[in-house]
């Protein structure tokens, strides 16, 4: 039975020297729950260390569409001043690519 919501994960390399990199072996994981039919992101989590960073990133990502990551990337560029910004965007782009592959299979 196919569910309407799917979980997609993406991983990317973190910069050296930040706490998350030390804790997670240099990799960030981003998981998004996406509506299969529309691409709407309904939930998100990532392996950032602090609660406030996770919540801030979630606020930027949830409600957006996995088909169009550019607005998320712009929002992060303008408002997220953490060292993991580039890795978060890269992991989201991997999630987007996985969603595109799934969409082509349907």
| pLDDT beyond 60 at 106 | no
What is the pLDDT of the chain when averaged over all its residues? 91
| pLDDT beyond 70 at 23 | no
Contact 24, 104 (CB under 8 A): no
Is 78 inside any structural domain?
yes
Q: What is the CATH number of the domain that holds 91?
A: 3.30.390.50
Query: How is residue 56 written in tokens?
Result: 């801030």
Is 106 inside any structural domain?
no
Q: How far apart are CA 81 and CA 105, in angstroms?
A: 37
Query: For 32-60, what is each residue's pLDDT tens digit?
Result: 999 999 999 999 999 988 999 999 999 99
Number of domains in the chain: 1
Is 105 inside any structural domain?
no
**DSSP secondary structure letter of residue 67:** T
């Amino acid at each position: 039975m196919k569910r309407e919501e799917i979980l997609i994960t993406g991983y990317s390399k973190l910069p050296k020297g930040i706490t998350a990199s030390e804790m997670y072996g240099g990799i960030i994981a981003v998981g998004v729950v996406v509506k299969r039919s529309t691409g709407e992101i309904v939930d998100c989590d990532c392996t950032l260390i602090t609660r406030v960073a996770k919540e801030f990133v979630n606020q930027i990502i949830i409600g957006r569409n996995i088909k169009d990551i550019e607005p998320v990337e712009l929002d992060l560029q303008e408002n997220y001043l953490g060292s993991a910004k580039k890795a978060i965007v890269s992991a989201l782009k991997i999630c987007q690519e996985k969603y595109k592959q799934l969409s082509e299979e349907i």
